[in-house]
Structure 1
Amino acid sequence: MAYPMTGTNNPAASCQFTPLVSEAARQAHQNYQAPYRLCLMAALAAISSATQPLVDVVMPYGATVPLSLFLVGIAKSGERKSAVEHRFMQRIRAIEEALEADHKNRMADYNVRLHQWKGHRKRLEKILEKKGLEHSEHKRVSEELVEHWKEKPEEPQRARIVYEDISPMAMLTALNETKVGTLVSSEGGIIVDGKSFDGVPYFNSLWSGEPVGVSRMRQATLQINDARLTISIMLQPDIFGPHTGKKGEKVRGSGHWARYLVFNPESTQGTRFSRKQANSWEHMERFDHRLSQILDRARMARVVGNAEREEILFSQEAASLWFDLADEIEDGIRSGGKYENASDHASKLAENMARVAALLHYFEDFEGQISANTLRVAADTCNECSQDFIDLFVPVPEEISDAEELRGMMQRMCNDGYRIVRKNYLRQRCPNSLRSGGRFYKALDVLAREGAIRPMQDTRNIVYIDMAPGLALPWDCPLWYC
């Protein structure tokens, strides 16, 4: 299908539709000189974290789903992942620090009240232990002690919203109390190689907005309903690599990585010259201001308790476009399609587009329903993430990788002055791995279909390969096309 693309790979292209988000990401990209898409990922993580307790999106087919995103960024050491993540999350972390300070104050008050409560309990217990206590007095003190036990101070819970290195059980216990959380790390190895990913099935359910039940030995069963969880992790390639191959099949097989928007941008190292920095932050400040407005609403919703989430709908035009996008993705799952070997990822892609569109719509404070333009920006972003997912998780077919190896060998031969050689000559000199199982011939067929080579025959039916088919043949060449 064809529709106007806004091109989020070009930072300036989407600014006309989502200025708060795109301009903030562009400015962070310019000032930190980190990859633009890494900055965009950090912005989406902050928006998802702040917005998820307040808003859901109604899909064009009627289902209501969370706005929570699962995000993973792949970047080498030195790409300034930590700086970008902390800058976009600073307002959320400031609230986290305020909650921690408030918790310390409430703990101090709790400890005083608990000390007083224990003192009064001991006094009542001593009275009951006295010998010769009259029955009526014993009954009165016993009743008072029963009531006193009912008045035991409850230990205040730490109302955290951002988590880093945490066990699945601790994370689930926290979500059972707060109903909202963000698992975030700019050094994601702490998470994926730690205990957090032991809870993958629970995280899958939370992404979908489904209830989670956890049975624990010698502890009360957890029943987590209507909770929201955002995950944002940044990883170095060597840490992420094992999760994409054989070793990662268990997590991939559970459908966990399929829920992620994957950001694997090109490195900016070697191009980060000091004169490119603007050192102005007006767009980031506008982003921070809007984020603070949303966080204040979330805080008020928590005070009121059980506040209903706002539901965002698609306009008729956007809903029609979403169905077209979903159908295009579904068509790609067929044999030979783009998503033939990534059907798990494809099954979540259209919903991720809807979630990102709703987040952008709400954060930009657009009126009415989600527009087609906002969905296009979301689709562009998710399609780039989709390509990154395929590049990382879907292995290149053997004949394609073999063809690339053969192409390199032929290029070196051309550089040495060769052009037309016998096919058998090529086979005898190709890498050993290509000489069995027909791999050489399959690779040659790939190059022929691409037009990278030209098979030819002489009068004795000996097959030759023209390794520079773009050039005109010599006038005296005694060969013809196969």
Structure 2
Amino acid sequence: LSADEEEKVLLALEKEAPAKPKEFKILYEDSTSEALFHGMYENLPAAGLISSEGGGVLEGRAFNDLSKQNAIWSGDSITIDRKTAESFKLVDARLTVSLMVQESVFSKYMAHKGGVSRGSGLWARFLICRPASTQGTRYVSTQVPSWYHQTQFASRLEHFLEMDLICFRGNKKEKEVIGFDSEAARLWVEIANDIESRMCAGGILYGLGDHGSKLVEVISRLAALLHCFEGFEGDISMSTLQAATDLAKWYSNDFIKLFGENSKENDEEQELNCWLDSFRKVGKRFVKKNYILQCGPGKFRKKAALEHVLLRLVNNSAIRILNYPGDKTIYVDLCPWQGGL
């Protein structure tokens, strides 16, 4: 055969090559954003980024493309352009992100990247909660606990996984559309207007426009999830929408506590204390106040701003201010809990 004929044979064989089988992969944990999106493109377009040690996700590369994370949440298509591999477009994808994070890890993340993540609207798309610790009250009992409800919950989840598997094998891409009934639709309008009014000056959502603007959509999605999970037929009822509103309000209250007006002071404390940690890590206990004023984070290089945040750290027992007889230099004790002196 000539070279041209051999080339034609090879091209014909290439066209007959079987398509790469898709993997029923739903869960991701230690993944870059590119690997996550490519996995959703090649396999199942619905996935969950789930981690009980969410610090690894926050500090890793899964969250290094916030705009695409936000676009998927909104139901938009995203295009991934790559230099060394095939570019692709992810269409009609669904992504769930569920992270459990230690408070210290989250505080460190917010101190370094909080401005960008809040500014992009990332956290407004989450259900944020910071429950109080139960340490000191977790008593052991001889009573045998009932796992009935947990079993029922697991059974319902298994049902949805089986349905997903059937759609996956049948390559079914159509999605069911659910609406509100007439009573729920009227309630939805009232809820939306109430949330809008609370974003005005003096309202509980004032200064939290990112959260308020997404809250009614979050409520709608929760209502749809409750409707489907409970196996209800027809449109979403007013009682289901009200239950979703109550649930969203619980999460919203924690968002307000975490990111509201008082949180700005907390963020400043965390940022400076995080900077001071660099000295603690190398075993240095005392730092001159003037050194912080001259070399610390930019926002604390004004005397009034620095004194304000130092006072709050003192009140929280994170530091101590002291000087020595005959020495006018003011020192910051970074480890007052060690005692002595």
TM-score normalised to structure 1 length: 0.52
Q: Which residue of 2 aligns with 1:159?
A: 24
Which of 174, 186, 194 matches 2:39?
174
Question: CA separation in 1, counterparts of 2:76 and 2:50?
Answer: 21
Q: Which residue of 2 aligns with 1:301?
A: 167
Say yes or no: does 1:265 pair with 2:131: yes
Q: Which residue of 1 aligns with 2:208?
A: 342
Structure scoring higher RCO (CA < 8 A, sep ≥ 6) equals 1
Partner-residue secondary structure (3-state), 2:145: coil
Question: CA separation in 2, counterparts of 1:163 and 1:387?
Answer: 29
* AA in 1 matched with 2:229: F
* AA in 2 matched with 1:199: D
Which of 187, 194, 199 matches 1:328?
194
Count residues in correspondence: 269
Question: CA separation in 2, counterparts of 1:141 and 1:325?
Answer: 69
Residue 345 of structure 1: how far off its partner (Å): 0.5
Which of 224, 227, 241 matches 1:361?
227
Question: Structure 1's 211 and 140: CA in aligned 2 closer, same or farther, altered over 3 A?
Answer: closer
* AA in 2 matched with 1:249: G
Q: Which residue of 1 aligns with 2:180?
A: 314
Question: Structure 1's 349 and 152: CA in aligned 2 closer, same or farther, altered over 3 A?
Answer: same
Which of 205, 213, 220 matches 2:71?
205
Question: Structure 1's 315 and 245: CA in aligned 2 closer, same or farther, altered over 3 A?
Answer: farther
Residues 58-137 of structure 1 aligned to structure 2 (within 5 Å): none
Q: CA RMSD in A?
A: 2.7
- Contact 2:257–2:263 (8 Å) recurs in 1: no
Question: CA separation in 2, counterparts of 1:387 and 1:347?
Answer: 15
Say yes or no: does 1:222 pair with 2:81: no
Question: CA separation in 1, counterparts of 2:4 and 2:104?
Answer: 70
Residue 237 of structure 1: how far off its partner (Å): 0.5
Question: Structure 1's 244 and 328: CA in aligned 2 closer, same or farther, altered over 3 A?
Answer: farther
Between structure 1 and structure 2, the one with the greater Rg is 1
Which of 369, 378, 397 matches 2:244?
378
- Contact 1:243–1:249 (8 Å) recurs in 2: no
Residue 367 of structure 1: how far off its partner (Å): 2.2
Which of 288, 294, 297 matches 2:154?
288
Partner-residue secondary structure (3-state), 1:183: strand
Question: CA separation in 1, counterparts of 2:70 and 2:237?
Answer: 29
Question: Structure 1's 145 and 179: CA in aligned 2 closer, same or farther, altered over 3 A?
Answer: same
Query: Could you give the per-residue CA deviations for residues 86-116 of structure 1, whole angstroms, max 9, x where no partner exists?
Result: xxxxxxxxxxxxxxxxxxxxxxxxxxxxxxx
Question: CA separation in 1, counterparts of 2:228 and 2:201?
Answer: 38
Q: Which residue of 1 aligns with 2:325?
A: none
Q: Which residue of 2 aligns with 1:147?
A: 12
Q: Which residue of 2 aligns with 1:45?
A: none
- Contact 2:59–2:109 (8 Å) recurs in 1: no
Which of 229, 254, 259 matches 1:388?
254
Q: Which residue of 2 aligns with 1:29?
A: none
TM-score normalised to structure 2 length: 0.72
Question: Structure 1's 311 and 276: CA in aligned 2 closer, same or farther, altered over 3 A?
Answer: farther
Residue 245 of structure 1: how far off its partner (Å): 5.0
- Contact 2:24–2:168 (8 Å) recurs in 1: no
Question: CA separation in 2, counterparts of 1:276 and 1:266?
Answer: 25
